[in-house]
Amino acid sequence: MHPPYPSPEFAGSFAPPPAQPSGAVRVLAAAGGMVALLLGTLLSFGLGVIALLGLGLVALVWRARGARLTRRASWIGAVLPVSFVLGGLMVRVTAQAPGGVTASMQQSMEQAQRQPPPPIVQRMRKLGPPQNPRVQRRVDSVTRSKPFLWWTIAMVLTLASLFFGLAVGTSAWGCVMLIGYGVRGRWPMAPPASVR
């Protein structure tokens, strides 16, 4: 006697396919993705185009290798070019600063030291142990040294380029995914049905 229902291992093969989105949803997704991509590109001063170019380059490389493009690879391809281009632009602007970057930083640090600290800093100093002038002089000499200033500049530029690269690249990647959903009726670069 046959069981009335299929066994659990065959239940997945009888699952209905996912419902296709309606035409209005697809048009709305594609139009929203295009508008968001256009606005993001304008607000980021054209860096959104760099993200799209990086994503397209990764897609071409994956196709030449005969591999299926993954969402992770496409996202990295959108984020890294923006970070590199923005980092290069910031390095160029920093190098063209009048009088040198380290000299201007040292001058601003000396001006800040001449001014009295804010009231909250003065209160915190009263609560803590008294400062040792010899230790403070050593700390000041380290923080004003050129290697420390160059290290600070490098860290600031790296973190800023990574932050804006993540922001702009992820936004452009999300817009491309939304446009792909509107055009194809499903999210792009989805894993095959057997992997889900």
Per-residue pLDDT tens digits for 59-76: 999 999 999 999 999 999
Residue 22 is given by DSSP the state: P
Contacts with 143 (C-beta within 8 Å, 6 or more apart), sequence order: 109
Rounded to an integer, the average pLDDT of 97-117 is 70
Helices (H) and strands (E) in the chain, counts: 8, 0
Per-residue pLDDT, 83? 95
Burial 67-93 (b: 16+ CB within 10 A, else e): eebeeebbbbbbbbbbbebbbeebeee
**pLDDT over threshold 60, residue 152:** yes
- pTM for this prediction: 0.73
User: How far, in Å, CA of 148 to CA of 62, rounded?
Assistant: 42
Residue 186 is given by DSSP the state: S
Task: For residue 96, name the pLDDT band (cuts at 50, 70, 90).
Answer: confident
Higher pLDDT, 38 or 121: 38
Give the chain's mean pLDDT.
82
Which DSSP string corresponds to 109-169? HHHHHHSPPPHHHHHHHHHSPPPPHHHHHHHHHHHTSHHHHHHHHHHHHHHHHHHHHHHHH
Give the position of tokens 């799209």. 52
User: How far, in Å, CA of 71 to CA of 93, rounded?
Assistant: 34
User: How far, in Å, CA of 90 to CA of 88, rounded?
Assistant: 5
User: How far, in Å, CA of 196 to CA of 194, rounded?
Assistant: 6
**CA neighbor of 83 nearest in space, from 170, 193, 196:** 170
Per-residue pLDDT, 2? 53
Contacts with 125 (C-beta within 8 Å, 6 or more apart), sequence order: 117, 131
